[in-house]
Structure 1
Amino acid sequence: MSDSAELVPHQGAAPAVYDPATLAVLAAMEQVAEEHLDAIRPHNTKRGYANDWALWAEFHDWLAERNGHQLPLTAVTKGTLVGFVTWLDVIKLAAPNSIDRRITGVTVTARAQGVEVPKQATEAARQALKPMKADPERLARGRGKAAAVTPEQLQRMHAAAPASLAGIRDRALWLMAFAIAGRSAEVAALRADGITHVSQGLDVHVPSVKGRPARDVVVAYGKNPDTCPVRAWLTWRAAAGITAGPAFLPISVHGALGSDGLSPSACREIIARSAERAGIAVRLTGHSMRAGFITVSRKAGKREEKIRAQSGHAANSPVFWGYIQEADRWADAASDDIGI
């Protein structure tokens, strides 16, 4: 028998049974292999996986708000993964390719934590994703920054808001998001006792979110009562009877107030739903309020440092300066009044 033939295992052999010492060595080699793969994995990939896992956690919070039970993040099953795909599509309005990457990120991260993710779970998630990849409207998602809301659109959203406690809350929420140029996570983190009514309007403390520094901003009375964030907040505060705790609360279908604050995803849902109800053609997101404030404030002639203080952008933020450039496009245009 040749040396090479000895390398071919006998086809009828029973599975090897390893002694404890061998098993320990194999386990150690598995650990070393995982550490090596993690070390050579690109930084952007690691950051992407971290973002995927953060979304997975947000999805679980969203589920808990609706069924009253918090599932562990390690519950990566056929049901939760398919639900995650649907949530990303319907609630987050994510592009199909982005959803596909999220599935991979959650799966890889869970397995790195020792979770055994069933193959049928990832197969079912991608099966649910398949028709989304054939939808042109879904494929067009994510190709551009959020549309900046305009004062006219805010007025339409006000007119379309229902005459109910939920309608009063929704109006106060998206007007506050606009007035503080707030991220959805910041709006969700606002506290009633951090919003002080003064003669000129509101002093608002925007809490630290995701490592970003907290900031204190002022919100002046608006000239139009329908879109005045100060009046909207005072109306909501009185209607809900809140003086402390989360600024914005969930409301049941029967009109009962919850005690826990809204999640960032719930804030985004309220904004998107309000815009859709008003028949606004462009898709408005939580970021639309932030972008809209910067654009409108700049067009009104406000200084960059004042706008940045309100929005919390860094001085060298390319996103911020992109909004400023867009707002300034027609201000003293290079082609205007040059003798042609």
Structure 2
Amino acid sequence: MTVNASVEALALRPSGAPSTTYDAATLAVLAAMEEAAEKHLDAIRPHNTKRGYANDWALWQEFHGWLAQRTGQALPLTAVTKGTLVGFVVWLDTIKIAAPNSIDRRITGVTVTARGLGVEVPKAATVAARQALKPMKNDPERMARGRGKAAAVTPEQLRQMNAAVTDGLTGLRDRALWLMAFGIAGRSAEVAELRADTITHVSQGLEVHVPAVKGRPPRDVVVHYGKNPDTCPVRAWLTWRAAAGITTGPAFLPITVHGRLGDRALSPEAVREIIARSAERAGVAVRLTGHSMRAGFITTSRKAGKREEKIREQSGHAENSPAFWGYIREADKWTDAASEDIGL
């Protein structure tokens, strides 16, 4: 921070703060203390918090892209104002269907990141954003978003989603994405990290390397050809790969409104959005999330009689995972039920 920047910061002191004039040497020391404080706070900030702030800022960038498409004017990311921050809240609520508590955390993440970049975020902006959020927190339906375990997708729902897929490159990508997520029992973050050059086509189907994410170990899985061409992950992947001309790099890429491919991998949030949007377009009765493909694979595979250890190999669950055994219990619920054929 320069001396001039320090002077400007003092000029922007909160209303009612005492007016103090410092000489250049004092300002230099104060500036150095500010910089040291920022470094210290960053050093002690938990890794998960930093990762969360990075995700918040990625969403802020996505919001600005969405806004630019509609206004024809790209605003700088540093424009954290009352208008943009309230717009961000409304966008998260209506476009991303985010839970109010999640939106609250996003507000914090964006403002903290912006301040770390030297942006002066007006207090009026954060106050207005949380005023816009307040009625959302009083809405039971909104507050219920994201609660409970994800609905497990069924093969019938996958066929329903396939029937509603859009034409063009985006439709090919979306179908390949959610069928691949199902086929590898993948988390959204894992699907986002898949690479085209580590998905190998063999006679039986695909050999897929699922990379390590969030400290979880990598795994290698196989995805067989499906009997139904409309919901076969192998055919869907090969069709998308050929249409997009992908041989290396990220397996799934963003696509502009003009049909041009981006060069960076989709984010986990984008993966979740594609799955949710595809299900909603198809009129699927339950709300599907990114985790629905993973849950759906486990329950579907179990109902088909697959062994627990083989399912765990595909999903990467630990042997004693409560989540895994919860899926197995759900799948086995009607198998040899205690109330079946007992003379009633």
Fold conserved between structures, TM > 0.5: yes
Matches of 2:29 and 2:326, distance apart in 1: 56
Name structure 1 gaps, 5 residues minimum. Answer: 1-13
Pair 1:133–1:258, CA change in 2 (3 A)? same
- Name the CA distance, whole Å, in 1 between partners of 2:19 and 2:253: 58
Determine the C-alpha separation between the residues in 2 that align with 1:205 and 1:70: 39
The higher radius of gyration belongs to 1
Query: TM-score normalized by structure 1?
Result: 0.79
- CA spacing shift, 1:155–1:51, aligned 2, 3 Å: same
- Please name the residue that 1:53 is paired with: 53
Q: Secondary structure at the match of 1:282?
A: coil
Is 1:299 the equivalent of 2:319?
A: no
Q: In the alignment, which residue of structure 2 is the partner of 1:316?
A: 320
The equivalent residue for 1:332 is 336
What TM-score comes out, normalization by structure 2 length? 0.78
TM-superposed deviation, 1:15: 4.2
Looking at structure 2, the residues matched to 144 and 135 of structure 1 have their Cα atoms a distance apart, in angstroms, of 17
Instruction: Identify the residue that residue 277 of structure 2 maps to in structure 1.
Output: 273
> Which amino acid is 2:237 matched to?
W
What is the Cα-based RMSD across aligned positions, in Å?
3.4
The runs of 5 or more residues in structure 2 that have no matched partner are 1-17
CA distance in 1, matches of 2:109, 2:262: 33
Output the CA distance in 2 between the equivalents of 1:269 and 1:317: 27
Residue identity matched to 2:321 = S
How has the CA–CA distance of structure 1 residues 70 and 325 changed in structure 2, closer, same or farther, with 3 Å as cutoff?
farther
Q: CA deviation at 1:141?
A: 1.4
Equivalent residue number for residue 250 of structure 1 = 254
For residue 224 of structure 1, the aligned residue among 212, 223, 228 is 228
- Is contact 2:63-2:91 (8 Å) kept? no
Give CA-to-partner distance per residue, 1:258-309, whole Å, 9 cap, x none. Answer: 3333222222222112111111121111111111111111111222222122
- Of 131-140 and 204-213, more deviation after overlay is shown by 131-140
Q: 2:160 maps to what in 1?
A: 156
**What does 1:1-340 align with in structure 2 at a 5 Å threshold?**
15=19, 17=21, 49-50=49-50, 52-63=52-63, 76-104=80-108, 106-107=110-111, 116-340=120-344
Change (3 A) 1:215 1:77: farther
Stretch deviating more after TM superposition (193-202 or 183-192): 183-192
The one-letter code matched in structure 2 to 1:55 is N
Most deviating of 218-227 and 163-172: 163-172
Higher mean C-alpha displacement, 55-64 vs 232-241: 55-64
Query: Which range moves more in the overlay, 322-331 or 218-227?
Result: 322-331
Distance 2:313 2:212 in 1: 14
Match of 2:10 in 1: none
* 8 Å Cα contact 1:56/1:84 also seen in 2: no
Aligned residue-pair number = 319
- Partner Cα separation in structure 2 for residue 94 and residue 252 of structure 1: 23
Shift of residue 171, structure 1, vs aligned partner? 1.1
Q: CA–CA distance in 2 between the matches of 1:92 and 1:16? A: 46
Q: Secondary structure in 1 aligned to 2:173?
A: helix
For residues 29 and 254 of structure 1, the distance between their equivalents in structure 2, rounded to whole angstroms, comes to 45
Q: CA deviation at 1:87?
A: 4.3
Matched letter for residue 174 of structure 1: W
The amino acid of 2:157's aligned partner reads Q
